[in-house]
Amino acid sequence: MSDIATEDFRAMLARMEAQGHVTRMKKPVKPQHFSALCTKAPGVLLAEKVEGYDFSMAGGIFWTRARTAASLGWPEGELGRRFASAVAKPIPPVEVEDAACQEHVFTGDDVDLSNIPIPFMHEKDGGPYLSSGIVFANEPNVGVNVGCYRLMFRTRREMGIDLFTASDLRRIYTKFYEQGKPLQIAVAFGVHAFEHMGAAYKAPAGVNEIEIAGGLRGAPTRLVRAKTVDLMVPADAEMILEGELLPNGWTADEGPFGEFAGMQGDLKHNPIFRLTAITHRRNPILFALQMPWENDWLNGPATEAACMRILSLAGIPVVAVRATEGGCCGWSMVVSIRKRAGEGKNAIAAILSLPVVKQVIITDDDINIYDSNEVEWAVTFRCQADKDIVILSGMKAKHVDPSVRPWDMKPGELPLTSKFGIDATIPEGIPAFRYERIVPAYSDSLRLEDYL
């Protein structure tokens, strides 16, 4: 088992710091200033002191492909492939008795969210937000569900939770709401990238995302029994909030909050989370996950893995898959394949059938898809717009995309979108030598350093 397989959140940060990914901030910072400083930092930002609090604060861990790969200890080009193989080999968690996440326990009147430096993050947000929580809930007769959900500070005991979009947690909550019963949840903060990415993964109902996290880790996640709710939580987390989602339905104002698509979201109405306990480590580190890239990069590897899976089902030899940052790590893909006749278009059809992907570029395997100039070169010289751009309309869309004009829709109506793919592979019938690239003479035998 590798050392990374047994890491917790702070060991992951320490390793990333040793690799040069972390910028330490020595002077105390106000919670409402942390996000702006994160966007200016060259690496993960670690605030050693937060004004008025006993917490330190970290942000920007998943801000780029490079940092995401470093957090997992995987090569940058391998995110999709490694994610796919981990999902195929889930590992069940183990139960432990003593847990660092319960070094300090606050229950009853001692539960007070104002003791946590919940950061105010974006100009138009509806309040301070905890953005890095992974929510555990039990679905009777089905099992444990884990997902990432943002939480807005309302009062010292209550937070808003965003259950607006269809999800497993929303479905479970709806069952309880319809019976007028509260739903117990526990929310873990400061978990390792493995657990965070497992929670972000849209696993089918009944699949425990913590087993997926185990697959990513290559070792079981350690869980401990929560103090006031009947749930198991990550023993090595920095902090746990326990409590229940009240059966108030979609009535409490929540948001706006800077959303994963990079736009300031709308005001929503959502359920309320009432706390029964706060537990945390000694000298806790609050992970203030920064929108949108940290949210997006938690999904990127899963989308790359889904592209690989669907291309392999379609029998297309895939070489590399890249979720681009501009496409929020899932809406826009670049894929290189070892093409046989017609497979450029087949690949477009397969990939555009994935719910989130809105555009895709397919190239041959001689193109380095991580170099945007090479991809543009292929699109420029290997594509004829009237033959090689495929447009599909009337496909399933997401409300978060303003170009589908969600505000014009009738209540209950679902948005539709058009999607496109660019086949930038060498057109059928054009011999490869027509694309022979310039090679500087004697390039293999000469070294610049010998002349400096």
Partner 1 sequence: MTRSGAREELVGKIEALLADPAFFKDVLDLCTDAPYRDVLIAWSAVREKHELMRDEFGRYWIPH
Ligand X SMILES: Cc1cc2nc3c(=O)[nH]c(=O)nc-3n(C[C@H](O)[C@H](O)[C@H](O)COP(=O)(O)O)c2cc1C
- Specify the residue, 131 or 145, whose C-beta has the smaller distance to partner 1: 131
128 binds, among partner 1, ligand X, none (CB under 5 to 8 A by kind): partner 1
Cα gap 354→352, rounded to integer Å: 5
Range 102-121, binding partner 1 (CB under 8 A): 113-115, 117-118, 120
Q: Does 353 bind partner 1 (CB under 8 A)?
A: no
Range 421-450, binding ligand X (CB under 6 A): none
Residue 240 near residue 279 (C-beta atoms within 8 A)? yes
Among 168, 304, 388, 423, binds ligand X (CB under 6 A): 168
Least distance (Å) between residue 6 CB and ligand X: 24
Q: Which two tokens stand for residue 425?
A: 């592979």
Q: Does 402 bind partner 1 (CB under 8 A)?
A: no
Residue keyed to tokens 């497993």: 168
What backbone torsions phi and psi does residue 254 show, to the nearest 5 degrees? -150, 140
Among 48, 51, 95, 110, binds partner 1 (CB under 8 A): 51
Cα gap 229→188, rounded to integer Å: 13
Q: Does 123 bind partner 1 (CB under 8 A)?
A: yes
- Taking every pair of Cα atoms in the chain, the longest distance, rounded to a whole number of angstroms, is 79
Residue 161 near residue 151 (C-beta atoms within 8 A)? yes
Give the β-pairing of 416-424 and 389-396: antiparallel
State which residue has the least CB distance to ligand X: 147
Cα gap 196→159, rounded to integer Å: 21
Among 32, 107, 417, 418, binds partner 1 (CB under 8 A): 32
Least distance (Å) between residue 276 CB and ligand X: 21
Residue 271 near residue 177 (C-beta atoms within 8 A)? yes
Q: Does 128 bind partner 1 (CB under 8 A)?
A: yes
Rg of the chain over CA atoms, in angstroms? 23
Q: Does 145 bind ligand X (CB under 6 A)?
A: yes
235 binds, among ligand X, partner 1, none (CB under 5 to 8 A by kind): none
Range 221-260, binding partner 1 (CB under 8 A): 253, 255-256
Least distance (Å) between residue 149 CB and ligand X: 4
Among 17, 23, 30, 247, binds partner 1 (CB under 8 A): 30
188 to 207: interface string for ligand X, x by CB under 6 A: ------------xxx-----
Q: Which two tokens stand for residue 163?
A: 């259950």
Query: Phi/psi zone of residue 353: left (φ > 0), alpha (ψ -120 to 50 degrees), beta?
Result: alpha
Report angle CA 187, 193, 196 to the nearest 5 degrees: 35
The DSSP-derived string for 73-122 is T--GGGHHHHHHHHHTS----EE-S--GGGSEEEEGGG--GGGS-----S
- Specify the residue, 264 or 353, whose C-beta has the smaller distance to partner 1: 264
Size of the site for ligand X (CB under 6 A): 17
Q: What residues make contact with partner 1 under the rule CB under 8 A?
A: 30-32, 51-53, 113-115, 117-118, 120, 123-128, 153-156, 253, 255-256, 266-267
Q: What residues make contact with ligand X under the rule CB under 6 A?
A: 145, 147-150, 162, 165, 167-169, 200-202, 289, 295, 298-299
